[in-house]
Chains A and B, each alone.
Chain A
């Protein structure tokens, strides 16, 4: 077995739901930590006080521009990580903190919250609120294969991670409106219903086969667009779904 990679979690303005999601892999998390990754930083779980060097840094939460420590730690994490992941809707898209506007005790000046890519370059997105245990597991396994695997494994990991990296390049604004702008308006929606199925707040209903978004319910997590099979559909990976799922399940045995 190759040397483990190092993973950390930087907790900014988040709710720890993303970290709970990682833990919700149950014994899968122990398998990850036994064989593939050392958890070198995570204030909730590890008594390491300062941001260390990391292969992969999962950043949870958005960044409060009015909180100096948040900005400094985020920049430090960027400088010390090979792969910086916006883990969850808040880090990637702002999510519920998009609605923050200050005026609450005892820091009424804490009003400006941004997705982390406003402050640092981000390599990869794992959207949604909450994200899925299986998605963060897949990213962890693929990151291990990317950094420690043979050429074939590196190719697989690169192919798998590419759309999540492209998502990070696409931007940091998310909303149910993405389905309008980038799917329906683009002539790409075929009415499968995935967006409505994935929305964590049931803001999307299917009316005569097309999504109808209740934008006052939407919390801007980015799940609907990212899960939509017409946001991206990479045939090179999908056509090999059986092999890849077997490989991931095998790695977790």
Chain B
């Protein structure tokens, strides 16, 4: 499989909705698509990373209005266990058509829950729109605090936006200050479970979106499944996005491919290294578990 996964088309795009682009991390793709899908009845609600009880700590919520979607706009570089709500969305929330956004691993979890529903009764055919975001790695909340408060010397509650790009972790404050940490310091803070991840651009989403490859304020969008294709075509017909062909934007698909290849190559090495992590009494290797081979 290609490092970018199966896809029908790839486009550089941004939302035409100014309410959304004011708050969005990049081109406002996810927020706009969910708002459109809600309006059209494609979904009854979407599981998104809403505001939590501490600054920049996301809390999975079922959003059923555009205002709730807007409250979830923007990237939080820490874990939001969105799958926690996937069954509940079809229970007390009473949704028949569930939208969910997530990182590549969360899109994998969605597909596993659909193909192998172990404790996920009546979930498989209620997943109406799974939107994926590109993800290189994620951080625990405590790691994020260390980066923002120690390395960047900013208070969590004063931060307006965080961004990873061009080799830096950048923090923008409400009052206009900009602080940065070189990304080479990031590795010790990365969630260990991210080191075995073999997916960068959410290969299993219906539509996936991320910043890499497109100019600031724009997103790179992969339209992947039949479902994704129908929703994307509808949103384009409704003039919800400005688009540019991917081969006409800088830095373009080559950079996406390069970063995806780097991530997968590095992490495949980590997966392989687990096989010979330890030592048996007879001198041969003792390994750690590999989820891609057997439970």
Contacts and interface: CB of A to CB of B under 8 A. Distances in A.
Interface string A199-242: 11000001011100000000001111111011111110111011
Nearest to B6: A239
Interface in B58-85: 60, 78-85
A190 B194 contact: yes
A227 B119 contact: yes
Given A209-B78, A227-B116, A245-B115, A235 B1 contact: yes
A236 to B, nearest CB: 10
Contacts of B295: 163, 166-167, 170, 225-226, 231-232
B158 to A, nearest CB: 21
B132 interface: no
10 contacts: A130-B121, A138-B115, A191-B79, A194-B109, A194-B113, A197-B120, A227-B119, A238-B111, A238-B112, A241-B114
Contacts of A231: 291, 295
B118 A206 contact: no
A206 B84 CA distance: 8
Interface in B89-134: 102, 105-106, 108-109, 111-122, 124-125
A128 B119 contact: yes
A170 B294 CA distance: 9
Contacts of A126: 118
A187 to B, nearest CB: 5
A193 B118 contact: no
A192 B82 contact: yes
A177 interface: no
B262 to A, nearest CB: 19
Say which size band chain A's interface belongs to.
Answer: 35 or more
Given A193-B81, A233-B112, 5 more contacts: A135-B117, A209-B191, A227-B112, A229-B105, A239-B6
Interface centre among B115, B122, B195 (most CB of A within 10 A): B115
A225 B192 CA distance: 18
B292 A234 contact: yes
What 10 A-B pairs have minimum CB-CB distances, sorted nearest first? Answer: A193-B81, A209-B79, A223-B119, A193-B84, A190-B193, A198-B119, A191-B79, A132-B117, A193-B83, A206-B81
A122 to B, nearest CB: 14
B45 to A, nearest CB: 15
Contacts of B195: 187
A72 interface: no
A131 B122 CA distance: 11
A229 B288 contact: no
B14 interface: no
A209 B109 CA distance: 15
Interface of B: 1, 5-6, 60, 78-88, 102, 105-106, 108-109, 111-122, 124-125, 138, 140-142, 191-198, 203-204, 225-226, 288-289, 291-292, 294-295
Contacts of B6: 239
Interface centre among A134, A164, A188, A191 (most CB of B within 10 A): A191
Contacts of B80: 209
A182 B87 CA distance: 23
B102 to A, nearest CB: 7
A187 B294 contact: no
B115 A238 contact: yes
A186 interface: yes
Contact of B60 (A160, A193, A241): A193
Nearest to A133: B121
Contacts of A222: 118
B124 A200 contact: no
A192 B142 contact: no
Given A233-B108, A235-B1, A226 B118 contact: yes
A192 B87 contact: no
A198 B120 contact: yes
Contact of B83 (A127, A194, A239): A194
